Amino acid sequence: MRVSGPSRLVGELLEEILSQGAGPAPTKIGLMAYGSELGAAEIVAGARLAQESRDLQVLPIGPQVPEGEGLDWIETDGCEADVVAAMEGALAEGRIDGAVALHYPFPLGVATVGRVVVPADGRDLLVATSTGASATDRVEAMVKNALLARAVARSLGKTDPSLGVLNVEGAPSALRALKSLADGGYPLRFGRSGRGDGGALLRGNDLLSGAVDICLCDTLTGNVLVKLFSAFTTGGGRESLGWGYGPSVGEGWPSVISIISRASGASVIAGALTFTAQAVRSHLPRLVEEEFAAARRAGLAELLRRERPQGPEAPAAPPAEPTDAEIHGVDVLAVEDAVKLLWEAGVYAESAMGCTGPVVKIASARKGRAEAILRQAHLID
């Protein structure tokens, strides 16, 4: 029977209301569900907590556990390499829009920006950076970290975040370079230390009080800061505060993979998932490209050339090959020297920064020879 008149109008109106109420499809975030020191149940609890937000769907990745019944699992064997491969595959296929991982060996040039709770008033503070490495040179990395952190801040809706440089090694040089970039037109707003001498160089007190929106530092310092701010109320065995070590950012890097630790509790896991979803919805990789484009217009390339220490020309890299093995234990300041040494010996290698420190990535078939070369050069034990 054909419906017409008022009944048809009412039906069309109800259909329109229902379609509007459905809203956009939820953002799908993969969650590495294997390897937590607190157990898989803690990861599942974090996933369920995050899914209280209707615009987020969590897909745990790893061996399925009874506590995870009802969640849309991407099931794997109990092997970290298999979990990582499944996560990468789901990202490549578009099954998930972003991911939260307990560990990921980002390539050089990619780092993560952590997010912690300020003890003084409960606001958030971005820590740039907390895993990965945006560059091998300390000052260059801190300059790039500022651009990456601004992109992350923008993904959170902070259009004009204030920035300060933690007073660590290289901080005065990094601050000088950033001021030069700002003078060239890059839209950078410096915050002020709450200490008597003021200025944009931060002390520890400024982090506790939340003097700025972004704390700029090197990755190893940032990693320690996130751990301290996340776990200081628990005695260190569990990270219970904040949003984890943050989303991955780097020039030309297309993915949003955020990092938590093996000690992250359910509340931090949930925070990391919602943080990641927000970064995805804000098109974080595009924001990164916008920041670098603005910095290049302000003279970034020339500035980095001036600041970069001059050294001997690097040897040519051997033909590239898949790097499915890692060598740990190389000092962060020597990781590039290790790569160059292997290149000179005809072994293709890449540097990366994992959650536990720097790694040298090589083909598994060449791992033994590579370790022998690095051991002979006293670069590993």
Q: Are residues 128 and 159 in the same domain?
A: yes
pLDDT computed for residue 149 by the predictor: 98
Q: Are residues 302 and 329 in the same domain?
A: no
Cα–Cα distance, 345 to 267 (Å, whole number): 48
Q: State the chain's mean pLDDT as an integer.
A: 90
Q: Are residues 335 and 280 in the same domain?
A: no
13 has pLDDT over 80:
no
**67 within some domain:** no
More confidently predicted of 197 and 121: 121
321 has pLDDT over 90:
no
pLDDT computed for residue 196 by the predictor: 76
**46 within some domain:** no
**Mean pLDDT across the stretch 218-245?**
94
266 has pLDDT over 80:
yes
Q: pLDDT band for position 352 (50/70/90)? A: confident
DSSP string, 246-285: EEEE-TT----EEE--TTB-HHHHHHHHHHHHHHHHTTHH
**Mean pLDDT across the stretch 62-81?**
92
**85 within some domain:** no
Q: H-helix or E-strand containing 130?
A: strand 124-133
**Mean pLDDT across the stretch 340-344?**
91
**214 within some domain:** yes
What tens digit of pLDDT does each residue of 329-338 get? Answer: 888 778 888 9
pLDDT computed for residue 43 by the predictor: 96
- Cα–Cα–Cα angle for 198, 201, 205, nearest 5°? 75
Structural domain that includes position 370: 325-376
Q: pLDDT band for position 55 (50/70/90)? A: very high
2 has pLDDT over 60:
no
**Mean pLDDT across the stretch 258-287?**
98
* Catalytic (active site) residue 79: no
Q: Are residues 162 and 286 in the same domain?
A: yes
**Mean pLDDT across the stretch 271-279?**
98
pLDDT computed for residue 1 by the predictor: 45
Q: Are residues 216 and 357 in the same domain?
A: no
pLDDT computed for residue 359 by the predictor: 84
Contact (CB, 8 A) for 128 and 148: yes
More confidently predicted of 196 and 209: 209
More confidently predicted of 20 and 189: 189
Count, residues in the chain: 381
CATH number of the domain residue 358 falls in? 3.30.70.1530
25 has pLDDT over 50:
yes
What tens digit of pLDDT does each residue of 162-201 get? Answer: 999 999 989 999 999 999 999 999 999 999 998 877 899 9
If one counts the domains in the chain, the total is 2
Q: Which of 79, 215, 217, 355 is catalytic?
A: 355
**Mean pLDDT across the stretch 294-313?**
85
pLDDT computed for residue 91 by the predictor: 98
Q: Structure tokens of 14? A: 């109800």
Q: Are residues 112 and 152 in the same domain?
A: yes
Q: Are residues 275 and 332 in the same domain?
A: no
pLDDT computed for residue 325 by the predictor: 87
pLDDT computed for residue 12 by the predictor: 62
Q: Are residues 302 and 213 in the same domain?
A: yes
Cα–Cα distance, 273 to 261 (Å, whole number): 13
How many CA atoms lie within 13 Å of 116's alpha carbon, on the beta-carbon side? 28
> What percent of the chain shows pLDDT beyond 70?
91
Closest CA to 255 of 371, 46, 84, 92: 92
**13 within some domain:** no
**Residue 248 bridge partners (DSSP):** 112
Local structure of 25: helix, strand or coil: coil
31: CB partners within 8 A, 6+ apart: 43, 46, 47, 58, 59, 60, 61, 99, 100, 269, 273
Q: pLDDT band for position 314 (50/70/90)? A: low
140 has pLDDT over 90:
yes
**Mean pLDDT across the stretch 32-52?**
95
Cα–Cα distance, 226 to 242 (Å, whole number): 8
320 has pLDDT over 90:
no
**39 within some domain:** no
Q: Structure tokens of 19? A: 């379609």
Q: Are residues 279 and 352 in the same domain?
A: no
The Cα-based distances of 275 to 100, 127, 201, 221, 259 in angstroms read 10, 14, 27, 22, 11
